[in-house]
Amino acid sequence: MKVWKKNLIAVAVLATVCLGIYTNWLYTEDTKTVSLTDTLDSQKILSSDMLVMADDPMNEEPMQSTVSDYFAAVRLSRREARDGAIALLQEAMSYSTDTGDVQVNQQLDSLVQVSLCESQIENLIIAKGYRDCVAYMSDEGVSIAVASPEGGLQAQDVAVIADIVMTQSGAEMEDIRVVEVQ
């Protein structure tokens, strides 16, 4: 009887996840998704040792709605990925043993800590006067996409952003990537 209940719960969780994915696809099918390659300019990325800025005379006035759409799409994508990971970890916790519970709890705690750190970084960067930004932390480092300020992203802007990231996350300078979104 106990095995039957676990199987029923697993099927219910799977059906709920599938229904959520289908509903998301159904409602976002008509909207145009902002492409990452359309939004980011590869010549305006901070490498480990220098910032390369390219002047683009054709794009003097940034389109506010495109930039806002980009940040909203990135945040939504990040939240959906995290929600899916949390659901899988919670499901694994329901089937795991005592030693498995410790590992799953550590993974959940790590996921929560990364989410909080990203949120703190984003809030502090916006508090410094930048219109919008998105932070993404991974094993490879921290990536920050910042809305282009008037006059473009300058070296002192990158220094301020890098200082916030290093203070909040403990990441080293070579692990931080700053991308200007126009």
Lowest mean pLDDT among 54-58, 91-95, 106-110, 161-165: 54-58
In the prediction, which pLDDT does 163 show?
92
Quickly tell me which residue has 């996840």 as its tokens: 17
The CATH code of the domain at 33-181 is 1.10.287.4300
Residue 117 tokens read as 């750190």
In the prediction, which pLDDT does 53 show?
43
Q: Are 3 and 35 in contact (CB under 8 A)?
A: no
Which DSSP symbol is given to 30?
A: S
Residue 14 has pLDDT above 70, yes or no: yes
Lowest mean pLDDT among 84-98, 112-126, 149-163: 84-98
Kindly report the pTM of this predicted structure. 0.57
Residue 119 has pLDDT above 70, yes or no: yes
In the prediction, which pLDDT does 177 show?
92
Q: What is the Cα–Cα distance from 40 to 59, expressed in whole angstroms?
A: 13
Q: What is the Cα–Cα distance from 149 to 6, expressed in whole angstroms?
A: 53
Q: Which of 67, 51, 78 is nearest to 138 (CA)?
A: 78
How many angstroms separate the Cα of 163 from the Cα of each of 113, 157, 170, 173?
Answer: 19, 10, 10, 9
Write the pLDDT tens digit of every residue in 53-80. Answer: 444 444 444 445 677 778 888 888 888 8
How many angstroms separate the Cα of 100 from the Cα of each of 68, 106, 108, 119?
Answer: 41, 10, 12, 29
Residue 145 tokens read as 């996409």
b (16+ CB within 10 A) / e for 22-42: eeeeeeeeeeeebeeeebbbe
Residues whose CB is less than 8 angstroms from the CB of residue 77 and which lie 6 or more positions away in sequence, other chains included: none
Crossing angle of helices 98-127 and 64-95, rounded to 10°: 160
Write the pLDDT tens digit of every residue in 143-172. Answer: 999 988 888 888 889 999 999 999 998 889
Quickly tell me which residue has 């409602």 as its tokens: 27
Residue 142: strand, helix, or coil = strand
- What integer best gives the mean pLDDT of the chain? 76
Strand 176-181: give its sheet, edge to edge.
40-45, 176-181, 141-147, 133-138
